[in-house]
Amino acid sequence: MNEHLQALRRAAKRAVLTIGCGVVALVAYFSAQGLRYEAGRLEVSYAPVLAPVTICDGRVNPDTGECSGSVVVFEAFTQTNAVCDGRDALVSGVMSKVRSDARYIDGRQQIYFGDPAGRFRRAMFEFEDQQDGTPTNRPPGVQDWGPWRLRGGCVTEFTTWFTSVEHRPWHGFWPLPTVTGPFPLPRATIDQGGSSERR
């Protein structure tokens, strides 16, 4: 009887030890993932993937660096058009990618209705500006984006949307997360016949 009790205690100790090691391993894994994300967020704050650019539409004085013509400023990511297509919102705009070493990670972009600093929920969306078989990584420079179809965007309770995207830097140690927005959503009223009216 005593031997059985001793064996049972040893088995219980091994089980507790195994479970404890598993819990420590899980905590270490998720802590490492959190640290990787924070390192990427910190890198983006000092070396962003998307950033405003200033272009001189004229001559630049080589001594002073002043522009003799008009100066055009492109923001990092802006929405220039938003319309309703039934219940869906079609949004498009202009972006300025400044890091050539940052490659878009396919499938790591999400769009949300709401505000990143407040209440939000994930949106269903389609990139209508991309065809099957075309590369999703954008070259550096100022370029158009969209239209992107945000399903139900014109009738959702939220009045804004934003996007979160990740890029892989040259070193590959962590992803670079970029959040842009919020941007206004167009509003639509649905009549009894099911058609929509743009506003």
In a domain, 52, yes or no: no
Structure tokens at 28: 């270490």
Could you tell me the end-to-end alpha-carbon distance of the chain, in angstroms, rounded to an integer? 82
In a domain, 124, yes or no: yes
CATH of the domain at 187: 2.60.40
In a domain, 66, yes or no: no
Distance CA 22, CA 28 (A): 10
CA distances to 38, 40, 57, 103, 106 from 35, rounded to whole Å, are 5, 9, 43, 21, 22
Tens of pLDDT, residue by residue over 72-82, are: 888 999 999 99
96 with 149, same domain?
yes
Question: Can you name the residues that pair with 85 across neighbouring β-strands?
Answer: 88
Q: Is the pTM of this model over 0.85?
A: no
19 with 87, same domain?
no
17 with 81, same domain?
no
86 with 181, same domain?
yes
193 with 95, same domain?
yes
Tens of pLDDT, residue by residue over 143-161, are: 999 899 999 999 999 999 9
Q: Which residue segment(s) compose the domain that 32 sits in?
A: 1-46
87 with 156, same domain?
yes
Compute the mean pLDDT over every residue in the chain, rounded to the nearest whole number: 84
Q: What domain count does the chain have?
A: 2
Distance CA 108, CA 60 (A): 40
Of 101, 118, 119, which is closest to residue 171 (Cα–Cα)?
101
By percentage, how much of the chain surpasses pLDDT 70?
88
Tens of pLDDT, residue by residue over 100-140, are: 999 998 888 999 999 999 999 999 999 887 766 555 788 89
